[in-house]
Amino acid sequence: MIVFDRVSFSYANRLILGNMTFSINADERVAILGGSGEGKTTILKLILGLIRPDSGKIIIAGEDITEKTENELRETRMKFSIVFQEGALFDSLNVKENVAFCLREYTKMSEKAIDQRVRELLRTVDVEQALEFKPEELSGGMHRRVAIARSLAAFDPAMFLYDEPTSGLDPVNADNICRLILDLSRNGKGFIIVTHKVFDAIKVADRFMFLHDGMLLLDGGKEKLLRTPIPEIQVFISELQYTEEGKNV
Amino acid sequence: MNTLKIKGLISDLQDLYLLSFHGLLGLTRKPFYFKDTLEQMDYAGAGSFVIVVLVSLFVGMALSLQLAAELSVLGLKMYTGKVVGISIIREIGPVAAALVFTGRVGSGIASELGSMVLGHQVDTLRVFGVDPVKKLVTPRILSAVIMLPALTTIGDAASLFGGYYIAVFMSHQSAHVYWSSVRDVLIFENVFAGIVKPFIFGYLIACISCYMGLSTRGGAIGLRSSTTRAVVASIIMIIVSDFILTRILLYALGFSV
């Protein structure tokens, strides 16, 4: 589904990704880990063609998207459903209008049918009560849930992309979002979750990729992540070990 | 370093030109975002009404005060209305309204679009297959091009009333003389010169502000910087284009310099 072939990307004279090569299948549950500014979100943006790599090829469903125009990329983007960091809800629209955005833009559904579909989606993510709320009236967790509902309304995606879906949330809300992410992947649809919270990544993903200084330091399963001798990753997952020890006590 | 700055400036100008062109092109292609345009017209027009009237009123009063003082020394006080009228309609009215519009609407556009960029809302539009230029830029250009001329006309009227108040109640001139000399200058050439400018100013303010907003990078400081740049660049462009337009219009309308 997704192939990165020696992809490099720089921003403001700083190398963000250097010669990155990997592939991800549509049914995989992948977590991309790393510190702030290590290029995790950049990978999602490259997958969607929102930014172009300096060199290398990005192949989505067998097609090289690196030279595609904005119009040509539309079809590629429809294969994915993305939830950006903090939801990226449109401030000027209420929850119902946010979720109905694509339905109004691309379908000829009646207002009644749109209303039913929006309520159904909000029920799926458990925020039906917030139908008339403005984004600024929502809590962090509700924000992410509404964003997930909106992304589900858009198209029928082959894969979900989540950019820091649990950042800034308390453990209970973060856990609820993780459950929702897992629920949505039950029908065999994979996802890529970008996060710096190892604990949340462990809960949802089977494959872990760790970015550091523009390099892919690790790519493997949970065991490989937990038993890695790489010092940069050991420091990063120490939070997890502390939590595990706490649990054992 | 200087070469890099010059390259950056040229690249910015090129991008601004392209955005301005595509923003206009959006008017000719479906979908048309009528609701967004009406919302922008309400924000830009109705929202700026009071401040434009207030600023214009005091500009007219100050101008009338200055002219009455000078013209009375020369024994030409009866020309106050004429000079106020020409100055306001041709020159000061359009520029004053455009500057107020920049401060209120231009900065608002830049900061709104900038925060949409930083909050990934613009990326979300692109992912959903919606052209951000059509959805965000075209309605703002259209609303500025419609509302600024309307605001300028209202502002001109407020300035003339401000001038009237000073001329009649402080300079003790005849109201009839003031209004008849104002009426003398309300000829096609003057009105046309005064009404063409706000269309151009509105287009420039909207394009520059949208461009600065959409090119925002780097968090709160980037947002502050893009808003400031939008206002400063718009003000400079208003003043420069006012000079150029004045020269062109004077020539086209047959005025000799």
Residue pLDDT tens, chain A, 249 long: 899 999 999 988 889 999 999 999 999 999 999 888 889 999 999 999 999 999 999 999 999 999 999 889 988 898 898 999 888 999 989 999 999 998 988 888 899 999 999 999 999 888 889 999 999 999 888 998 899 899 888 778 889 999 998 888 888 888 888 998 998 888 888 999 999 888 889 999 999 999 998 899 999 999 998 888 888 888 888 766 555 554 442
- Choose, out of B124, B125, B214, the residue to mutate when testing the contact with A (most A CBs < 10 Å): B124
Q: Tell me if B154 sits within 8 A of B53, measured CB to CB.
A: yes
- Report the domain count for chain B: 1
A-chain residues within 8 Å CB-CB of B131? Answer: 70
Q: Tell me if A148 sits within 8 A of A166, measured CB to CB.
A: no
Strand spans (E) along chain B: none
Contact B123 A84 (CB under 8 A): yes
Q: Tell me if A171 sits within 8 A of A199, measured CB to CB.
A: no
Question: What 3-state DSSP class applies to A92?
Answer: coil
B-chain residues within 8 Å CB-CB of A45? Answer: 123
Residue B8 lies in a domain: no
What ipTM was reported for this prediction?
Answer: 0.87
Residue B141 lies in a domain: yes
DSSP summary character for residue A87: -
Helix (H) or strand (E) holding A20: strand A14-24
- Number of A to B CB contacts under 8 A, please give it: 47
What is d(CA A52, CA B205) in angstroms, rounded to the nearest whole number? 30
What is d(CA A200, CA A149) in angstroms, rounded to the nearest whole number? 20
Rounding to the nearest 10 degrees, give the CA dihedral for residues B6, B12, B15, B17: -90
Residue B19 lies in a domain: no
- The answer to whether residue A68 neighbours chain B at the CB level (below 8 Å) is no
Written as six digits, the tokens of B111 are: 């900061």
- Choose, out of A91, A104, A161, A162, the residue to mutate when testing the contact with B (most B CBs < 10 Å): A91
Residue B93 lies in a domain: yes
Contact B119 A77 (CB under 8 A): no
Which pairing describes strands A55-60 and A2-11: parallel, antiparallel, or unpaired? Answer: antiparallel
B-chain residues within 8 Å CB-CB of A154? Answer: 127-128
Closest among A64, A56, A62, A30 to A44, alpha carbons compared = A30
Residue B26 lies in a domain: no
- Domain hosting B108: range is 33-252
B-chain residues within 8 Å CB-CB of A90? Answer: 121, 124
Contact A70 B131 (CB under 8 A): yes
CA–CA min distance B100, chain A (Å): 24
Residue B27 lies in a domain: no
Q: How many helices (H) and strands (E) does chain A have?
A: 10, 10
- Report the domain count for chain A: 1
B-chain residues within 8 Å CB-CB of A78? Answer: 129
What is d(CA B10, CA A78) in angstroms, rounded to the nearest whole number? 35
A-chain residues within 8 Å CB-CB of B115? Answer: 91
- The answer to whether residue A136 neighbours chain B at the CB level (below 8 Å) is no
Quote the pLDDT of residue A241: 59
Amino acid A217 reads L
Write the CA distances from B221 to A14, B34, B122, B218, integer angstroms: 20, 33, 19, 7
What is d(CA A159, CA A189) in angstroms, rounded to the nearest whole number? 6
The dihedral built from the CA positions of residue A45, A47, A49 and A54, taken in this order, carries a sign that is: positive
Degrees to nearest 5, angle at CA A105 with A102 and A106:
85
Write the CA distances from A232 to A17, A194, A210, A211, A238, integer angstroms: 17, 18, 10, 10, 10
Neighbours of B130 (CB within 10 A): 20
Amino acid B202 reads G
Quote the pLDDT of residue A246: 45
Which strands make up the sheet holding A2-11, listed edge to edge?
Answer: A14-24, A2-11, A55-60, A63-64
CA–CA min distance B204, chain A (Å): 25
Contact B121 A102 (CB under 8 A): no
Q: Indicate the residue of B115, B121, B128 with minimum beta-carbon distance to A154.
A: B128
Quote the pLDDT of residue A98: 94
- Domain hosting A68: range is 2-248
Quote the pLDDT of residue A238: 79
